[in-house]
Amino acid sequence: MSVTMANSGASIFEYYRDIIPEQENWTAVCSQPLPRCFWANTLKTTPLQLKKLLEADGFSLQPVAWDPTAFRTLQTDVGKQWHYSAGLLQIQEEVSMLPVHFLDPKPGERVLDLCAAPGNKTAQIAIRLNNTGTLIANDKNFQRMRAFGQISKRLGLLNVSTTVYDGRNYPRLLNYFDKVLVDAPCSGEGVFRKGKGRDIVPNKKNSLRLQRIQIDLLKKAIQLCRPGGRIVYSTCTFSPLENEAVLDAILKTHDNIQLKPVRLDHFQLTPAITQWQGKTFDDGVVNAGRAWPHLNNSGGFFVAVLEKQGELIEVDDSLPPKSIASDKDQLQAIIGEQVERFGFPDTLFESYVYNDDNYRGIYCVNADNQPPSELKIDATG
């Protein structure tokens, strides 16, 4: 079984030297292979059962201390195993799992993943919601959202509806969602250990271009989130222009937003910085967290938790749920044929609605997945 070497991020180290903690460990850690991380799909198995299956097939696993469903391995071919094909696990870089941990979605909540592609975090959310309720996965990239369909099918997700909008122009569903995730497009400096020798050079002009997009996305998320709700903002970059500066801009224009402390047992997150290249940020940004690769043997990441202040209100009843079911009589004959052919109990299908609008087959989704009627739904189930 193979391992992959990573580069040590020399250009990144030099550019951010002044804000990197414990610098003496950077090269030693970052020159090593990046561990492959994955989590157990608890809709189909348990972490213990998955661990036993993989170890029986020769895999050496290390539990992720802060997430009881996740494991690390240096063996890179876990995605080629039957366990992956059967949907028992999902591969995801460890730091990429942080946003959903801090979003903390719970069954019964309405959740929006505003920049969802390729869909790993959406899948995490779906399972945290127990495969029930209303989860909307959005991304402006149509092809990348199609790829999420394969993840959803393999994992058996039944509570996701997808939309294809530029997140900055998402329909004005004011105060509709309980939780909104903004895993924003960024310069991607934190993934340098996956570069296989390609050095990533920080680019200020590009970071400033992305900053404008990130601020607009976060403003939209605040509109969409209800008072008392939670927004998580994250990037996989080190650039303060795309991290602290974005939060600073939001805090200066939104007095109803409060940043909550981002800290985690068994994973070292350092406080966000308050100064960069002569610019001073709002003191509140220190509540956000930076994940440095040499402190956790991981990728680099930034995550912030924003809470929208105000009196908790009920969702506007003028937003009726969208009907995502195809004609019931039209589908009943097909479904009934499968029930009879395979001996399924009639009650098996009572909790689902069915859709055949995409002409690629019949898809089912939990009946309590009820996106608002204002949305143009691309796919369900």
Using alpha carbons, select from 184, 79, 84, 179 the residue that is nearest to residue 135: 179
DSSP states along 263-280: --TTS--EEPPSEETTEE
Phi first, then psi, for residue 367 (nearest 5°) are -65, -20
Separation CA 219–CA 311 (nearest Å): 19
Q: 322 Cβ partners below 8 Å, 6+ apart?
A: 370, 371, 372, 373, 375, 377
Separation CA 132–CA 157 (nearest Å): 9
Active site residues: 236
Residue 367, CB-side half-sphere exposure with 13 Å CA sphere? 6
Q: What angle do CA 157, 159, 160 make, to 5 degrees?
A: 85
Separation CA 173–CA 152 (nearest Å): 25
Q: 108 with 133: CB under 8 angstroms?
A: yes
Neighbours of 2 (CB within 10 A): 8
Chain centroid to CA 208: 23
Separation CA 296–CA 48 (nearest Å): 24
Name the amino acid, one letter, at 134.
T
Q: What angle do CA 25, 93, 138 make, to 5 degrees?
A: 135
Q: 133 with 366: CB under 8 angstroms?
A: yes
Query: Longest Cα pair distance anywhere in the chain, in angstroms?
Result: 72
